[in-house]
Amino acid sequence: MFQNEDQINSYLELTCDDENALLRRINRETYLKETMPHMLSGHYQGRVLSMLSKLVSPKQILEIGTFTGYATLCLAEGLKQGGVLHTIDINEEQEERISGYFLESGYARNIKYHIGDAGSVIPTIEGDFDLVFIDADKKRNLIYFDMLIDRVPPGGLILIDNVLWKGKVFDEMPDAQTQRIVDLNSTLAKDIRVEKLILPIRDGLFVLRKK
């Protein structure tokens, strides 16, 4: 039996594909420069995002919450030739560094990096999204889902991160933030427009497939 979560994570990383050199550097620099580096998707979850993207082969991806661009580049690996990934973040202070990562990646022509409030930016982007990754303000997860569900074609995926919320979803008396996550999960579990499951990866990844 595994002894602890770190042992499980180490084994999962050992048995999946390696990070490329740029992703390793983004990982390292995020932990050196950011005050909340745990927000990074990281090696194993990054490979999961890449795999899901490759399975969908999306023409257009939407990511809400760029952070340091690690998940962005993992998702971009599955884009169809000529596809576009729109990523939105509220933090303009990181824009120069993150844009530099994108330029190095080989996906610069495919990535449209938007700085601003996602609720305002999303309506300005044309077309449907074959894959959506929501990893931003947790209070607005359901708002984003409702905004986007009709813009995802049948077979498309909506991914929502942090839905196990460090295990707090099991608390008998959850705090207000945790209760929002619990309510989100309960609402999505009942939504007949999507097939759904939660992958217990890191902090929980909700995978929803549009019917």
**What is the tens place of the pLDDT at every residue in 192-201?**
999 999 999 9
Alpha-carbon separation of residue 88 from 55, 66, 102, 165, 209 (angstroms) = 23, 6, 14, 22, 22
Beta partners for 197?
207
Compute the mean pLDDT over every residue in the chain, rounded to the nearest whole number. 95
pLDDT exceeds cutoff 70 at 1: no
pLDDT tens digits for range 18-63: 999 999 999 999 999 999 998 999 999 999 999 999 999 999 999 9
For residue 129, how many other CB atoms are within 10 A of its CB? 24
Q: What is the pLDDT of residue 3?
A: 64
pLDDT at residue 191 above 80?
A: yes
Give the per-residue pLDDT at 6: 81
89 Cβ partners below 8 Å, 6+ apart?
A: 65, 66, 67, 98, 113, 114, 115, 136
Q: How many domains does one find in the chain?
A: 1
Q: Residue 5's pLDDT band (boundaries 50, 70, 90)?
A: confident
Range of the domain at 180: 5-210
Instruction: List the CATH number of the domain containing 184.
Output: 3.40.50.150
Q: Is the pLDDT of residue 116 over 80?
A: yes
Give the whole-angstrom CA distance, residue 52 versus residue 208: 11
**Is residue 66's pLDDT more than 60?**
yes
pLDDT digits 0-9 by tens, 150-172:
999 999 999 999 999 989 999 99
Instruction: Tell which residue, 73, 32, 77, has the closest CA to residue 54.
Output: 77
| Percentage of the chain modeled with pLDDT above 90 | 92
Contact 42, 111 (CB under 8 A): no
Give residue 2's pLDDT: 54
What per-residue confidence (pLDDT) applies to 112?
A: 98
**116/107 Cα distance (integer angstroms):** 21
